[in-house]
Chain A
Amino acid sequence: MGASIPKAVVIGTSAGGVTALSKILSRLPKDFRLPVMVVIHVPPDKPSIMSSLFREKCGAPVKEIEDKEEIVDGTVYFAAPDYHMLVEPSKRLSLSMDERVFHSRPSIDVLFESASHCFGDSLIGVILTGANEDGANGLNAVERVGGVAIVQTPQEAEHQEMPRAAIEKCKSARVMTLEEIANYLVEVSVRQ
């Protein structure tokens, strides 16, 4: 458990991620208090459908990020297809076109590593279902700065590789079902 009160959430997922994310995001209320940054792997040539897909399902505002925009509490941000999403020390979001990481751009590791640097132990990192190992190093970075590392219970995940790889790299990770993760986030928001 992080020493300070959590101030931000990062979520990473891949195969099976749409369903898993729906179960979490649909539980976030309109007055959710933390910013949430999400990377879900999608084919690079797909238009940005994720933010519009989840806009209807989520109480909190959902949008695709714009370069250098300021992070606003209670907003859910999706990475843009074919760009990495990073958190700047100035608490703004930035894009980059750096090489793919584990064949992925956006990459979960890139988001999580930059976010841990900025938010330190007030960051919550969540890894959900997925079929590759992007995110494991990122969650490890969250753990190293003293943030809260959460992984979806592999047995519940549609694809287990991503959660398993994350658990392997993060000894202190809490393994939770989607329902438990949603409950936890809502509770953290109330405690703000």
Chain B
Amino acid sequence: MTNDTEDIEIRLLLEAIFHRYHYDFRGYAQASIRRRLKQAKEFFSCPTYSNLQDRVLHDSAVFTRLVSFLTIQVSELFRDPQYFKAIRETVVPYLKTYPSLKVWIAGCSEGEEVYSLAILFREEGFGNRVIIYATDINPVAIERAEAGVYNLDRMKLFTENHRLSGGKSSLSDYYTAAYGAAVFDKSLREQIVFSDHSLVTDSVFAEVQFVSCRNVLIYFDRELQNRAVRLFHGSLSRHGFLGLGMKESLRFTEYASSFIEWNRDVRIYQKKST
């Protein structure tokens, strides 16, 4: 069933993308990739995946568009408020014992999670003792994250999420509204370093005390999940924390025994000493 012509074409297309552009989607979970490529094929009016491959190889603009089909930019500020609440209540007291704090948000999409944590750390009194590395594979998403501009009609949900996360101030303190858009405060960005980084092909770049990587691992097959968690493990200092999405876990990875379940409900882990 899974070796029909389309499967072959899809494998070759991903191979072509890797060799031409060094973006490696070959180890992503196939069902979702297949669905996304089908949408892309229709969008570019390509009769076949082989035809799409031809266009991608010869036109880098097509590739840029295709990356946006293959990576899913769905996010919210303070998505799953209970995750952020748990960070405030159980992780922050621990993080406060470090003289300075480095945080890595991997797969940060268009910045929703980044501003959430930047605001949280400000509310919790970290001042300028925190540096946040915000990374994603999609350069367009990174650019938007850096801009920090969101549609005003999303603010109602974001404000409610922020409140439920135990927010100590008003979300509107952190953005200005203009022309239907909410623009997040520049001062928040002073502590954020945005950059292009792939969990599949790049390596550890800094030592951090907290990694937040939410709803990215679900798009990977097990082997890639292992690779990503290896990076997190290598990047975390002793007793550092790792937060995942609400339905992700380390259970099926090689690193299950290298972390303790710090908060099972919201999938926060702590790196063991050895």
Contacts and interface: CB of A to CB of B under 8 A. Distances in A.
Interface string A90-131: 100011111100000000001001100111100000000000
Nearest to A64: B247
Nearest to A67: B218
B221 to A, nearest CB: 7
Given A89-B31, A114-B35, A97 B218 contact: yes
Contacts of B273: none
B74 interface: yes
A117 B4 CA distance: 10
A120 B72 CA distance: 27
A180 B225 CA distance: 43
A42 interface: no
A145 B251 CA distance: 34
User: Which of A67, A86, A98 has the most C-beta atoms of chain B within 10 angstroms of its own C-beta?
Assistant: A67
B35 to A, nearest CB: 7
B2 A97 contact: no
B163 interface: no
A119 B1 contact: yes
B34 interface: yes
Nearest to A145: B1
A66 B35 contact: no
Query: How big is the A interface, by class?
Result: 20 to 34
B252 A69 contact: yes
Contacts of B1: 89, 117-120, 145
A94 B247 contact: no
Given A68-B252, A83-B247, A88-B29, A98 B35 contact: yes
Given A98-B74, A117-B1, A66 B247 contact: yes
Query: How big is the B interface, by class?
Result: 20 to 34
Contact of A96 (B32, B221, B222): B32
B215 interface: yes
A25 interface: no
A97 B74 contact: yes
Interface in A33-74: 66-69
A66 B251 contact: yes
A87 interface: yes
A117 B218 contact: no
Contacts of B249: 66-67
Nearest to B1: A120
Contacts of A96: 29, 32, 72, 218-219
Nearest to A122: B1
Nearest to B34: A117
A98 B32 contact: yes
Interface in B209-239: 215, 217-219, 221-222, 225
B248 to A, nearest CB: 6
Nearest to A119: B1
A89 B215 CA distance: 21
B247 A114 contact: no
B30 interface: yes
Contacts of A86: 29, 31-32, 35
Interface of A: 66-69, 80, 83, 86-90, 94-99, 110, 113-114, 117-120, 145
14 contacts: A67-B218, A68-B225, A69-B252, A86-B31, A88-B30, A94-B29, A94-B218, A96-B32, A96-B218, A97-B218, A99-B72, A114-B31, A118-B1, A145-B1
